Structures are given as structure tokens and as C-alpha cells.
A and B are shown apart, each in its own frame.
Chain A
Amino acid sequence: MTKLLDAPERPVRTGGPAGPTPRVSVARRIRNLLTSPKYGPVTVTAVLFVVIFIVGGVRYRGFFSGQVFLNLLVDNSYLIVLAVGMTFVILTGGIDLSVGAVVALSGMIAASLLQTGWSPAVVIPLILVLTSVLGLLVGLMIHIFKVQPFIATLAAMFLARGLCYVISQSSISITDETFVQLAVTRIPLGGNLSITPSVIIAVVVVAIAVWVLHATRFGRTVYAIGGGEQSGLLMGLPVARTKVLVYVISGFCSGLAGVLFTFYTLSGYPLTAIGTELDAIAAVVIGGTLLTGGYGFVLGSVLGVLVLGVIQTIITFEGTLSSWWTKIFIGALLLVFIILQKVLTARRR
């Protein structure tokens, strides 16, 4: 402890009066930050992301560029939207296994309807409404019939995946003008950097989610349900409505993610996005949201997605590593973060 305090001789920048010994306070503040169940995991994730990115930059030529970072967003914009929806559900202590299948379903709906000549202006809202309704049904099943979220969303997953096959067994490509335009458009940011429209949509979704969770009553209630549903009920919070709405949000986000995914692939295929629900859950957990609910941030989940993305990028840059290492790395990372969460919450109790 003393060693740590004596070593750095740099000016301490802390806002406001920081007590008689500001250096102690900084060290303690860092320790408090790392050991808090609220901020600890997300801080570790942020540090980890920066470290991985720097390691990649040192190891590989051309890695340390703005475009590599922006490509993380471009390639994972749909996953970011999914993780946002999943964060809402997990914050209430639930889980949504249907998101991957819903992504595939919305892709199938988009591809098949566009093929028959529907306008994208009708198709996209229709998809969002349908997936929200599916989320609503799941929410009602969970709330009214007391079916566990795991089973209810599992049923929704089977339904969505089954409907994909009913629509078509083979891949349908999308040739619609608007979709193709949205897929190929690059928005220049200056200095050879560019992003896709999907990234903007994802960023807007994240911004709205942050606002909803931290500045609205609904957001407070979501955290309250995760902290203790019974207490929430006794406080007179609209627990029932919120619990159902959370699944509607997840359904909506899955539908939107599906649309973004079709911008990315320009086709609908019933077998796409198998296992994406696990990626979304992993991103949320790595992003520091407690699976028992109550603690977590949307921005943490975004960081989680970026960590998954940067691991994938490194494996691509490495070249000799096979793709299955991604799965093993993600599993190992999950393990580390879950143990970290466990240690942090145990210390607080």
C-alpha cells in the first residue's frame, strides 16, 4: 500500500477539496471504483479494451488506426443494438434467448417481402411492429402466467426460427435499391475515416437507451425490479407494466438489429445468427451488468461488444489462429468477468 502511494510523484488532479491527504484519497477512490459492483466490472472492461487495442497496435502493422476502431462499430452495429435490448432485460433479472432467432426472422421477412416488391418504407416499420408484438407476447407469458423467462423466450426462439424455415429454406438475396444504398453508403468523417448509416442508427439507439435508463421513471423502475421485485411492488412502482415492456424493448431491438444485419449481409437466410443470443449475453456480462439484475450500464454493454469485436479483429490480424479460438477466448473472458463480479459483490455483502 505504502509503496503504491510513494511511487508516483505526479500532480494529483482531483476536483474540489479532496481532504488532507489527496494522494490517499485518489488511491482509495480508484480502489473504491474497482471494488464497487456498480462501476468495478465496467471499469475493468474499459481498461481491458484499451489494453487489447494497444497490444494489437504494437503487434500488428496497420492495427492502430481510427478506421480499425470504426470498423468495430461498422461490423458490430447490429450486436450493439441487440446488447442494448438485452441489457434492459438482464437489468430486471430476466434473460432473452430469442434475440438471435428474431434477427434471422426479421431478415427473412425483409428479404421475402422486398422480393415481392413491397416498399422498404412499409417493410421496416412492419418488422419492428411484429418483433415488438412478439416481445409483448413473451412479456405477457412471463408476467401473467409466471412462466420462467428462460422457457418463455426459448419458446419464442423456436417460433421465430421455425417461421424462418416456413418463409424459405434457402437464402434470399436483397436487390432492393434502398437496402443496397444503405449497405454500400459510407459516411466520410474526414481523414480517410468513414462509417455506415447502421453505426449512426446504433449510436442513436444507445443514446436513447442511456436517456431512458437514467433520466426516466421507467428506467428507475427497471433498476428497482432488478434490485428487488418485491420491494419495487411495495413501493408502488409499476412492476407489471415495466416487466412486460422490457421484453417489448428487447423484441424491438432484435427487430432493428435484424434490419441492420440485412443491411450488412444483403440477404435473408434462416440459419443466420445462430448463437447470437449468446454473444449478446456475453457482451452484456463482460460489460459489467450483473446477471441477477439491478446493476449495469448500457454503455458497459457497448464496451462489451467492442471487446468481443476487438478479439475477433486480433484473430483476423493474427491470420494463423483459427476462428474457433474466438469461442474459446470469449468463454475464458466470460469466466474472468463472472468471477470478478462474484468477488466484487461478495466483498460488498
Chain B
Amino acid sequence: MSALLARLVANRLFWPIVMLLVLFTINLVAFPGFFAVTLRDGHLFGSLIDILRNGAPTLIIAVGMTLVIATRGIDLSVGAVAAISGAVACSIILGSPEPANPATVAVAVTVALLISLVLGMWNGFLVAVLGIQPIIATLILMTAGRGVAMLITEGQILTVNSPPFKALGSGFWFGVPIAVIIAAVVFGVAALVTRRTALGMFIESVGINPEASRQAGVRARGLLFVVYTFSAFCAAIAGLILTANTAAADANNTGLFIELDAILAVVIGGTSLAGGRYSLVGTLVGALVIQTLVTTVYTVGIPPIATMVFKAAVVTIVCLLQSPTTNEALSGFRRRLALRAGKGVAAS
């Protein structure tokens, strides 16, 4: 029994899931109908659906971020890339004669995604070819990217009136929010491609020891390129969803702080910033924890302005629980407990 518990606690998903359950319980107490999901007008409605829908952009970015962090990197530019992709899509839709035509929207989305690939390759080039520290390499695009986004929108908030584009953010497909479907597809593809092929293992090996993996024949350079490009691609998808949700591209505020939320989701999910082993499921749990936290603040009736204080508290608690110091203290405590239990058995 205690061995099982010990194994459970040692699992790196243990604390994040406990956190999620605690948050769910708080919500349930404050609002008994929390878990209810109803079908209204052919759409699914309910708090859980809201959490999934609002958390979709963070989750999508966090998936890309997980792979970047697994290579011992970090991508600070995702918020700026999200802003750029939203700005590009909106300016194309605004510039076209028929903004409501699905073909226009398709072109806008495709161009935005292609541009994000270029931005991702730029990050990949700085990190993989020039060998610049990832945090700084992506800081460049984070700083300059918002300027570029403002250049595209000419410093204005572009409002578009295009139902097919708006559907990306707030539409439903078979009753399920389209944003959630997109997030599920991104998550599924990332999980399949990295876990059903050797790609995930290569990524981890580069993160654990770049030099050793190079000598073992893993092409770190190409891998880093792919990972940063994928991260920017995810950021662009999230940017499109965010922009579509409000039907407006705001170069200053689209995706502001989303890089931090995404990094938090990854860290809460138990992937170490030092690279190596990563867990996409952990990231999913982490993203849910963050979004549930925001929802909790609303349902419990705490002023939403205090959200950031709670976020700080959760980050601190999870980090302290996962820290090696705490783990050592805990395992020391368990060993003493086990020793005492063993003595008790021997005595009787």
C-alpha cells in the first residue's frame, strides 16, 4: 500500500494532477454544476468546455514549447509570433474584396502559417547554426517581433468582419468548439510523430547531452531547426485562434504573456527546463491547471485582477514540490517511516 503510494508520489505527473483535482474540487464546492456539460443549440456548453476552449491557445503553444524545452532550449518569441500571424491574417482579409469568402480566409491563414515557418527557421538558424543561447536568440524575435507586428497593422487594431475567420476562434464543429479540435489535432500529431517514431528519443538525447548525441550520430542541427520551426508554427495557430476569437488583431496585446503561460504549463507538467525527458501529457495537465486556475478565480468570486497572484502561488508551490531538495527531504522522511514500520513488524 505505502509502496504503491510512494510510486504514485514519485511519478512526475502526481503533483500536477493533484493540483488539478484540488482546483476542480474548489470549483465544485463554489459552483455545484461545475461538471455539468449540456447540449444547447447543438453545441456543448459547460464550465469544462469553457476551460478547454479558452485553454486551447496556451495548450497549442505549450506543445511546441515542450519539444523546444526538451532540447534544452526555450522559445520566448511565441507571443510575438502569435501577434504577427494574427496581424498578417487580418490585414490580408481586410485587404481582400470579399472578407467573408472562405477562400480568402484560407489564403490568409496559409500565408500567416508560412510566415511563421520562416520566423521559426530564423530562431532555428540562430540557435542551431550560430549556436546562440536559446533564451537570447528568441529574445531578439520577442522584442523585434512586436515591432514587426505593429509595422503590419500600422499601429492600429485591425477589426475584421469575416464569419469564416471568426469561426476559428468561437465556432463549433459537431457541437465541439473548433479551437478545441485544432488543439487536439496539434497535440495528437505531436504525440504520434514524436512517440511513434524515434524523433522524440532524438529530441531527448539532444537535450540530455548534445555532444554525446552528436557523436552517436544524431543530427542535432536539423533537429533544432525542426523543433523551433514547429514551435513558431504552433504559435501562429494559437495566434490565429486568439485573433479570430476577438475578430481583431492587436499587435500589442495578442498573445501578451502567453509565452510565460506556455512555459509554466510545460514546467508544471514535469518537464525540466534543463532539457531531456519530456511529457506531452504533463504539458496537457499543466495547461489545464493554468486555465482551470483562471476559471476558479472567476467561479470562487475572487476579483479577477488577483489572478496573477494566484498564478504566482501555484507556480511557486509546484516548483517547490518538484524541487530535488523537497524530493530528498520527502524520501528521507519516507525512509524513516518505513524503518519505523519495519521495526514495529519485527517487534510484534
User: Could you list which residues of chain A lie within 8 angstroms of chain B, going by C-beta atoms?
Assistant: 95, 141, 144-148, 150-152, 154-159, 161-163, 165-166, 169, 274, 278, 281-282, 285, 291-292, 322-328, 330-332, 334-335, 338-339, 342
Tell me, rounded to whole Å, the shortest Cβ–Cβ distance linking B306 to chain A.
6
**CB neighbors of A among B169-188 (8 A):** none
Taking the complex as formed, is B117 at the interface, i.e. its CB lies under 8 A from any CB of chain A? no
User: How many A-B contacts at CB < 8 Å in the complex?
Assistant: 124
Residues facing A in B129-171 (CB within 8 A) are 130-133, 135-137, 139-148, 150-151, 154-155
Q: Which B residues are in CB contact (< 8 Å) with A165?
A: 305-306, 308
Closest A residue to B146 by CB, please name it.
A327
Q: How far is the CB of B130 from chain A (nearest CB, A)?
A: 6
Give the CA-CA distance A327 to B155 in the complex, in Å: 13
Give the docked Cα–Cα distance between A151 and B268 (Å): 11
Which residues does chain B contribute within 8 Å of A162, judged by CB atoms?
A: 305-312
Tell me whether A331 and B307 are in contact (CB under 8 A): no
List, in ascending order, chain A residues with CB within 8 A of B251's CB: 324
Q: Is the CB of B320 within 8 A of A151?
A: no
Is B319 an interface residue, CB under 8 A from the partner? yes
State in angstroms the CA–CA spacing of A335 and B144 once bound together: 10
Do B146 and A169 touch across chains, with their CB atoms under 8 A apart? no
The reply on B294 being an interface residue by CB < 8 A is no
Q: 18 pairs across A/B with beta carbons < 8 Å?
A: A145-B323, A147-B319, A151-B273, A154-B263, A158-B312, A158-B315, A159-B308, A166-B303, A292-B133, A325-B147, A326-B147, A328-B151, A331-B141, A331-B143, A338-B132, A338-B136, A338-B137, A338-B140
- CA separation between A157 and B308, bound complex, in Å? 9
Q: Which residue of B lies closest to A279 (CB)?
A: B143
Interface residues on B, range: 35 or more
Q: Which residues of A contact B311 (CB under 8 A)?
A: 158, 162
Most-contacted residue by chain B among A144, A291, A322, A328 (CB, 10 A): A328
B136 touches A285 (CB 8 A): yes
List B residues at the A interface (Cβ < 8 Å).
74, 126, 130-133, 135-137, 139-148, 150-151, 154-155, 251, 256, 260, 263-264, 267, 273-274, 303, 305-313, 315-316, 319-320, 323-326
Who on chain B is nearest to A274 by CB? B256
Q: Are A331 and B323 touching (Cβ within 8 A)?
A: no
Q: Using Cβ atoms and an 8 Å threshold, which residues of chain A touch B142? A: 278
Task: Report chain B residues within 8 Å CB of A159.
Answer: 308-309, 312-313
A161 to B147, CA, bound (A): 23
Set of chain A residues within 8 Å of B326, measured between Cβ atoms = 145
Q: A291 near B133 (CB under 8 angstroms)?
A: yes
Residue of B139, B148, B267, B309 near A158 (CB, 8 A) is B309
Smallest Cβ-Cβ distance to A149: which chain B residue: B273
**B144:A327 contact, CB within 8 angstroms:** yes
The smallest beta-carbon distance between B65 and chain A, in angstroms, is 13
* Contact partner, B147, options A145, A291, A331, A339, Cβ 8 Å: A331
Complex CA distance for A292 and B134, rounded to whole angstroms: 12
Q: 5 closest A-B pairs (Cβ-Cβ)? A: A331-B144, A162-B308, A327-B147, A162-B309, A165-B305
Contact A150 B273 (CB under 8 A): yes
Closest partner residue, chain A, to B323 (CB atom) = A145
Quick one: given A145-B320, A324-B150, A326-B147, are A155 and B312 in contact (CB under 8 Å)? yes
Give the distance to chain B from A145, nearest Cβ to Cβ, in Å.
4
B147 touches A328 (CB 8 A): yes
B219 to chain A, nearest CB (A): 21
Q: Do A161 and B320 touch (CB < 8 A)?
A: no
The CB with the most chain B CB atoms within 10 A, among A156, A158, A159, A339, is that of A158
